[in-house]
Amino acid sequence: MTTSAWWTIRSIMAAIVDRVTFNAHILETGTDSYRLRTSRTSSRRKSTAAAASS
């Protein structure tokens, strides 16, 4: 993918996100994100498994 195509896609995605969130209400629950937590634990497991197999 060329650089100009990448910037075009990035600009389009920014415009879409801007339109979707324009009148949205952001709710902060004060809790950790489930997806963030699971991605962190899975990356730790992968790095631990890689270190153990070395």
pLDDT band at residue 4 using 50, 70 and 90 as cut-offs = confident
Q: Tell me, what's the pLDDT at 14? A: 92
50 CB-contact burial (10 Å; exposed 0-12 / middle 13-18 / buried 19+)? exposed
The whole-angstrom separation of Cα 35 and Cα 48 is: 20
- Say what the pTM is: 0.41
Q: Tell me, what's the pLDDT at 54? A: 62
8-49 tens-digit pLDDT: 889 999 999 999 888 888 788 888 888 888 888 887 777 777
The whole-angstrom separation of Cα 38 and Cα 44 is: 10
Reference 40, options 32, 31, 29, 28; nearest CA is: 32
Q: What are phi and psi of 33, to 5 degrees?
A: -70, 135
